[in-house]
């Protein structure tokens, strides 16, 4: 069973070739028409001016693409369902903190957007957290996992997270990794995401009386991870967690594991492995890997979102986890705007988000009242609501049971 | 021991790319800072023809070499040469090759997308055991190739008339042209071979890590370091530099963790630059009066 | 049939040096150019071989104008220079230096090799064959530089101060060698020299260059005996 087919590159290539010249000449920002008043027009449609920040260009551009895919696949749905239309004003952050700061300030001060979606990378989101919080614009964080982005001491708080957070996944994983008092090692990428993974895992370990035996960084694009693997092996690590942004770097680690003949009992990672991993790894290298995620990729609303993206764009979801969390976020925001009736009343919209009753993910998955004043996280860290996945020969996900079940009876 | 073996093997990959720097430096006194993108270009060119079943694997590898080589020669002619005309202190080529790097990176990303793509051309799976260390066969091939190509280049420059022309241009391009030798043609040929080697490295490296626009960029720092340690003026330099850099960075990674690997390698560069600025096997530049 | 410099102008970035220089060298002829330091002699030969750009005027050989060709193409046509200070490739051997000279010969190679005659006449070059060029004495280096130029089978040979820095004895050797080259190659030779007396004695015709202009020209023997030349260049008052 194949879930999402790889993107057809040839179509992209043609389009890209045709547009490359114009891209080079005109560094373009997303256009916006002035109809986006935030209030209902004659037909009762509210057009929202939504600022979107992400790496449109450069090596991390998949982290912009998933947002674009969601707008392409679902814009009409939201207009139909809630009477809310998104007028997207996009800015390229080139995955750099400086550009992110520039982009965000432009969207807020010059464009006067009603809300901001992005940036998708934790490190860059951290960089602009204060700015956005101070300017009083609903901040839709569908990508980043770092807990540190939201400081609940500032109230009212403007940021909302629809991806799971690192603190949550660590509490799920911690139990698994340290089961039977195993020695645990982490390999994390040298970026905001990896660092946050490390910090949260250490926090959890400390709080639960455990100790992390080995901590190793992998630099993006590293040629090999032999030394890292060797150090894990020498320290007698039996449970390995990989908190790595790029699947390709995860592949480097598992390749070195295979080379060294190192097969720890438990190898856990995150949904980032769904991107960029499979094409550069071999089945023997992913045999043992498991991931945990609060989303059910194989059935129900989460799967529906991914299928819709594939159907509407003709490409595989760029970052499957984030395609889903973006859908959830747009659903929440559209509902809130509908309820307030005016997107420019940002304070009211913020409150409406915080008070949201039912979040819809696709036609048949709902999450009830996820938020409160000091909890702006869509998911919880209840192991019964998280899934554990393994991979088959063709790298299709296999549902091994909930995290709670795996803790109880092993997976 | 394990660290030493793996360091030597890894050093081979860097040595191959360092050889591109040395080659262009010897004949033109320029370095192409876009070498990383030529690595990617070679890899993607091989992928582009991977479905041509009539073309045997060596042919596909050759396509990777040639694509990078031809673009390399053109880059020299139109984007390096025009920026070296003001004499020895003219370093505008530095800016122009960095610009080439940016443009190529963006072009490749626009056409191929940012994600790594699988490349099966010249893919050799499996591991061999060398003195107790597990070494990927693919990496071993790359390292072996670096040695063979370096020796080949050395033989060519020392024993053939083409090599004689290269050495003459290297020592004194003006006088070489009095002998009917065109320094520009020799320069273009060097860029052809040097970028071809980068493309070749790209094809083989992509079989392990996949082809992506940034695949070469991450090798760049280490390769320049290797070239500097060995000496930019010596074709033996990359072999010695690659071995030293590879072993030192692996041993440091094994001992103190991965981030110390690169740091140790760069410290080596600093030590060499202080003690022997021309590189371990380099020759002190004669000062021309 | 001759090397022709017609109304040539050239110089450096902000300094025009040569203006309206015209001269001619016939095959088999030895033509001297004399002039004081800084007169523009080196500038002249560099312009002829294309190391300096010609700003106006024309350059031609038996096959027509070559003013637009790059340096290495002029060498391949047979316009060959021995630069001031020899400019051997320091880390190539004597043999390799001479082998490089042959690269310019192209189609003109073949027939009796004049290099052999030179090596027979001055066996020291052959003895040093495998030695690195920068380890030779100045005199030996000049012999090698001349041999290298002959290996290019020149049709016109430009020599820029071949006696520079040599002892009187070695200078004699160099002049003997030049004579031999003329005999064996039949090339037209343009000889730029400080040793004006010796150069004028060896040459058929001569030009006097001052401040980038030709101020006198004619039969070498006549110039050598003219009062002006004697006073200005031969140190006779
Ligand atoms: N590279 C240069 N840039 C600027 N001016 C130069 C350069 N080389 C020479 N000149 C000037 O050009 C003039 C002619 O120089 P040139 O070398 O042709 O003289 P020359 O007749 O060969 O002298 P000499 O007998 O000392 O070799 C001199 O005034 C000199 O200062
Ligand atoms: Mg001179």
**pLDDT tens, position by position, A232-286:** 999 999 999 999 998 999 999 999 999 899 999 999 999 889 888 998 999 999 9
Of the pLDDT bands very low, low, confident and very high (cuts 50, 70, 90), residue B286 is very low
C90 closest CB neighbour out of B171, B179, B183: B171
pLDDT at A59: 76
Phi, psi of B261 (to 5 degrees): -60, -55
- The CA distances from residue C226 to A342, C168, C193, C200, C216, in Å, are 107, 24, 18, 11, 11
Separation of alpha carbons B96 and B102, rounded Å: 10
Judge if the beta carbon of residue C17 lies within 6 A of ligand 1.
Answer: yes
* CATH classification of the domain holding C155: 3.40.50.300
CA of C38 to the centre of ligand 1 (A): 5
pLDDT at B287: 41
**Residue A326 in contact with residue A66, Cβ under 8 Å?**
yes
Positive or negative torsion for Cα C151, C152, C155, C160 = negative
C236, exposed or middle or buried, with CB in 10 Å at 0-12, 13-18, 19+? exposed
Query: Does C contact A via 3+ CB–CB distances below 8 Å?
Result: no
B209 closest CB neighbour out of A59, A260, A280: A280
Q: Nearest residue of C to residue B175 by CA position?
A: C87
CA of C192 to the centre of ligand 2 (A): 8
Domain region containing B170:
2-275
Q: Nearest residue of A to residue B248 by CA position?
A: A227
Q: Tokens representing A171?
A: 């509490």
Q: Looking at chain A from residue 50 to 109, which residues have their Cβ under 8 Å from any Cβ of chain B?
A: 57-62
Q: Nearest residue of C to residue B171 by CA position?
A: C89
- Residue nearest ligand 1's atom 1 by CA: C12
Asked, for residue B288, whether it belongs to a domain, the answer is no
Separation of alpha carbons B44 and B60, rounded Å: 11
Asked, for residue B266, whether it belongs to a domain, the answer is yes
Kindly state whether B168 is in contact with chain C, defined as any CB-CB distance less than 8 angstroms. Answer: yes
Kindly state whether C87 is in contact with chain B, defined as any CB-CB distance less than 8 angstroms. Answer: yes
pLDDT at B256: 87
Separation of alpha carbons A220 and A222, rounded Å: 6
Contact B6 A226 (CB under 8 A): yes
Q: Tokens representing A278?
A: 């499979």
Give the DSSP per-residue string, C161-217: -TTTT--HHHHHHHHHHHHHHHHHH--EEEEE-S-HHHHHHH-SEEEEEETTEEEEE
Q: Assign A119 to helix, strand or coil.
A: coil
**Distance from the B82 Cα atom to the nearest Cα atom in chain C, whole angstroms:** 15
Contact B116 A230 (CB under 8 A): no
pLDDT at B219: 92
Measuring CA to CA, which residue among A183, A197, A192, A129 is closest to residue A161?
A129
**Residue C71 in contact with residue C49, Cβ under 8 Å?**
yes
* CATH classification of the domain holding B220: 1.10.3470
Beta strands A266-269; A289-293: pairing state: parallel
Task: Give percent helix, percent strand, percent coil of chain C, each to the nearest 5.
Answer: 40, 25, 30
Judge if the beta carbon of residue C32 lies within 6 A of ligand 1.
Answer: no
C183, exposed or middle or buried, with CB in 10 Å at 0-12, 13-18, 19+? exposed
Other chains touching B, judged by 3 or more CB pairs under 8 Å: A, C
**Distance from the C149 Cα atom to the nearest Cα atom in chain B, whole angstroms:** 8
**Residue B208 in contact with residue B12, Cβ under 8 Å?**
no
Judge if the beta carbon of residue C202 lies within 6 A of ligand 1.
Answer: no
Separation of alpha carbons B131 and B221, rounded Å: 29
Interface of B to A at Cβ within 8 Å reads 2-3, 6, 10, 13, 103, 106-107, 109-118, 125, 127, 134-136, 139, 205, 208-210, 212-215, 217-219, 222, 250, 253-254, 257-259, 261-262
Q: What is the pLDDT of residues B246-269, one digit of tens each?
A: 999 999 998 888 788 888 999 999
pLDDT at A26: 38
In the predicted structure, residue A61 carries a pLDDT above the cut 50: yes
Q: Tokens representing C211?
A: 């401040």
Across residues A138-150, what is the average pLDDT?
A: 94
Across residues A285-299, what is the average pLDDT?
A: 95
pLDDT at B134: 84
Kindly state whether B163 is in contact with chain C, defined as any CB-CB distance less than 8 angstroms. Answer: no
Separation of alpha carbons C122 and C184, rounded Å: 14
Across residues B205-216, what is the average pLDDT?
A: 92
Query: pLDDT above 90 covers what percent of chain B?
Result: 74
pLDDT at C158: 96
Q: Nearest residue of B to residue C154 by CA position?
A: B179
Go through chain C and tell me how many residues it has: 237
**Residue B4 in contact with residue B251, Cβ under 8 Å?**
yes
Query: pLDDT above 90 covers what percent of chain A?
Result: 78
pLDDT at A24: 38
- Count of structural domains, chain C: 1
More confident residue, A126 or C197: A126
In the predicted structure, residue A23 carries a pLDDT above the cut 50: no
Domains plus CATH for chain A? 11-164+298-368 (3.40.50.2300), 166-293+383-409 (3.40.50.2300)
Q: Looking at chain B from residue 119 to 138, which residues have their Cβ under 8 Å from any Cβ of chain C?
A: none
Please give the helix or strand (H or E) that residue B129 lies within, else none: strand B127-130
Query: pLDDT above 70 covers what percent of chain A?
Result: 91
* Atom of ligand 1 lying closest to residue C40 CA: 18
Separation of alpha carbons C7 and C26, rounded Å: 18
- Count of structural domains, chain B: 1
Q: Assign C16 to helix, strand or coil.
A: strand
pLDDT at A223: 86
Separation of alpha carbons A4 and A2, rounded Å: 6
Q: What is the pLDDT of residues B190-207, one digit of tens each?
A: 999 999 999 999 999 999
Q: For chain C, list residues with pLDDT below 50.
A: none
**Among A47-61, A129-143, B26-40, the least confident range:** A47-61
Judge if the beta carbon of residue C20 lies within 6 A of ligand 1.
Answer: no
DSSP state of B79: I
Q: Nearest residue of B to residue A226 by CA position?
A: B6
Cβ-Cβ contacts under 8 Å for C168 (sequence gap 6 or more) = none
Does this complex have an ipTM over 0.85? yes
> Of the ranges A17-26, A208-217, C177-186, which is most confident?
A208-217
Kindly state whether C35 is in contact with chain B, defined as any CB-CB distance less than 8 angstroms. Answer: no
Spell out which residues have Cβ within 5 A of ligand 2, the ion. Answer: C 42, 84
Contact B214 A59 (CB under 8 A): yes
**Residue A377 in contact with residue A359, Cβ under 8 Å?**
no
In the predicted structure, residue A8 carries a pLDDT above the cut 50: no
Kindly state whether C124 is in contact with chain B, defined as any CB-CB distance less than 8 angstroms. Answer: no
**Among A54-58, B12-16, B244-248, the least confident range:** A54-58
Judge if the beta carbon of residue C70 lies within 6 A of ligand 1.
Answer: no
Q: What is the pLDDT of residues A347-397, one digit of tens each?
A: 999 999 999 999 999 998 999 999 999 999 999 999 999 999 999 999 999
Q: Tokens representing A276?
A: 């960029």
Separation of alpha carbons A281 and B122, rounded Å: 16
B180 closest CB neighbour out of C51, C75, C99: C75
pLDDT at B285: 55
Separation of alpha carbons A214 and A7, rounded Å: 37
**Among A38-42, A97-101, A147-151, the least confident range:** A38-42
């Amino acid at each position: 069973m194949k879930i999402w087919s790889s993107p057809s590159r040839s179509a992209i290539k043609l389009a890209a070739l045709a547009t490359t010249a114009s891209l080079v000449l005109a560094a373009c920002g997303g256009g916006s028409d002035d109809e986006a008043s935030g209030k209902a027009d004659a037909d009762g449609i509210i057009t929202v001016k939504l600022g979107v920040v992400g790496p449109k260009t450069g090596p991390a551009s998949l982290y912009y693409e998933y947002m674009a895919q969601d707008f392409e696949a679902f814009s009409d749905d939201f207009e139909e369902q809630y009477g809310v239309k998104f007028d997207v004003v996009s800015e390229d952050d080139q995955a750099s903190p400086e550009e992110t700061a520039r982009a965000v300030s432009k969207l807020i001060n010059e464009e006067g957007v009603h809300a901001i979606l992005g940036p998708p990378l934790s490190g860059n989101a951290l960089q602009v957290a204060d700015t956005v919080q101070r300017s009083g614009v609903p901040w839709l964080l569908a990508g980043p996992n770092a807990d540190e982005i939201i400081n609940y001491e500032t109230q009212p708080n403007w940021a909302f997270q629809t991806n799971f957070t690192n603190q949550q996944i660590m509490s799920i994983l911690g139990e698994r990794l340290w089961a039977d008092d195993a020695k645990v090692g982490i390999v994390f990428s040298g970026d905001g995401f990896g660092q946050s993974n490390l910090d949260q895992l250490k926090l959890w370990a400390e709080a639960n009386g455990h100790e992390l035996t080995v901590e190793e960084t992998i630099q993006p694009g590293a040629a090999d991870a032999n030394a890292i693997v060797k150090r894990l092996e020498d320290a007698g690590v039996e449970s390995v967690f990989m908190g790595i942004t790029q699947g390709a770097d995860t592949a480097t680690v598992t390749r070195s594991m295979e080379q060294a003949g190192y097969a720890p009992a438990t190898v856990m990672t995150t949904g980032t492995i769904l991107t960029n991993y499979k094409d550069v790894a071999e089945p023997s290298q992913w045999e043992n890997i498991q991931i945990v995620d609060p989303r059910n990729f194989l059935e129900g609303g989460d799967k529906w979102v991914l299928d819709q993206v594939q159907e509407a764009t003709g490409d595989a979801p760029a970052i499957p986890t984030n395609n889903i969390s973006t859908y959830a976020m747009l659903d929440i925001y559209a509902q809130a705007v509908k309820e307030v009736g005016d997107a420019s009343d940002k304070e009211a919209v913020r409150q409406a988000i915080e008070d949201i009753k039912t979040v819809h993910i696709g036609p048949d998955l709902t999450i009830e009242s996820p938020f409160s004043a000091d909890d702006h996280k869509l998911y919880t860290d209840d192991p019964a609501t998280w899934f554990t996945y393994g991979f088959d020969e063709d790298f299709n996900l296999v549902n091994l049971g909930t995290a709670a079940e795996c803790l109880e009876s092993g997976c | 021991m394990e660290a030493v073996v793996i360091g030597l093997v890894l050093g081979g990959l860097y040595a191959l790319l360092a050889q591109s720097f040395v080659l262009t430096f010897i004949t033109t006194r320029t370095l192409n800072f876009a070498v990383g993108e030529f690595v990617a270009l070679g890899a993607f060119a091989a992928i582009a023809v991977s479905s041509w079943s009539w073309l045997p694997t060596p042919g596909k590898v050759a396509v990777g070499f040639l694509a990078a080589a031809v673009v390399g020669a053109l880059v020299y002619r139109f984007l390096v040469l025009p920026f070296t005309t003001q004499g020895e202190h003219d370093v505008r080529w530095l800016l122009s090759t960095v610009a080439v790097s940016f443009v190529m990176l963006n072009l490749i990303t626009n056409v191929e997308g940012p994600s790594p793509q699988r490349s099966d051309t010249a893919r050799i799976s499996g591991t061999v055991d060398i003195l107790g260390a597990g070494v990927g066969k693919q990496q071993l091939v790359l390292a072996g190739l670096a040695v063979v190509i370096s020796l080949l280049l050395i033989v060519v420059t020392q024993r053939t008339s083409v090599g004689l022309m290269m050495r003459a241009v290297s020592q004194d391009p003006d006088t070489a042209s009095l002998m009917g030798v065109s320094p520009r043609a020799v320069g273009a040929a060097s860029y052809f071979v040097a970028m071809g080697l980068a493309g070749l490295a790209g094809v083989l490296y992509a079989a392990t890590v996949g082809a992506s626009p940034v695949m070469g960029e991450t090798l760049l720092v280490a390769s320049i370091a290797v070239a500097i340690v060995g000496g930019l003026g010596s074709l033996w330099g990359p072999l010695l530099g690659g071995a030293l850099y590879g072993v030192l960075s692996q041993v440091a990674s094994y001992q103190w963790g991965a981030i110390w690997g690169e740091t140790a390698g760069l410290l080596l560069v600093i030590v060499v630059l202080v003690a022997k600025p021309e590189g371990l096997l380099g020759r002190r530049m004669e000062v021309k009066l | 049939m001759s090397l022709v410099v017609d109304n040539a102008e050239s110089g450096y970035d902000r300094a025009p040096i040569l203006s309206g220089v015209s001269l001619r060298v016939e095959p088999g002829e030895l033509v001297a150019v004399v002039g004081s330091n800084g007169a523009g002699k080196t500038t002249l030969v560099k312009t002829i071989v294309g190391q300096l750009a010609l700003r106006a005027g024309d350059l031609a050989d038996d096959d027509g104008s070559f003013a637009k060709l790059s340096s290495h193409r002029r060498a391949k046509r047979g316009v060959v220079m021995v630069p001031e200070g020899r400019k051997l490739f320091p880390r190539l051997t004597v043999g390799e230096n001479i082998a490089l000279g042959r690269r310019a010969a192209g189609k003109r190679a073949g027939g009796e090799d004049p290099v052999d005659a030179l090596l027979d006449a001055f066996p020291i070059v052959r003895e040093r064959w495998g030695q690195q060029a920068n380890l030779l004495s100045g005199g030996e280096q000049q012999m090698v530089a001349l041999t290298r130029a002959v290996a290019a089978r020149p049709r016109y040979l430009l020599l820029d101060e071949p006696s520079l820095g040599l002892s009187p004895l070695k200078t004699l050797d160099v002049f003997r060698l030049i004579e031999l080259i003329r005999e064996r190659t039949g090339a037209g030779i343009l000889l730029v020299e400080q040793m004006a007396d010796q150069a004028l004695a060896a040459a058929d015709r001569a030009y006097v260059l001052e401040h980038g202009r030709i101020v006198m020209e004619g039969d070498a023997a006549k110039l050598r005996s003219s009062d002006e030349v004697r006073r200005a260049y031969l140190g006779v008052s």
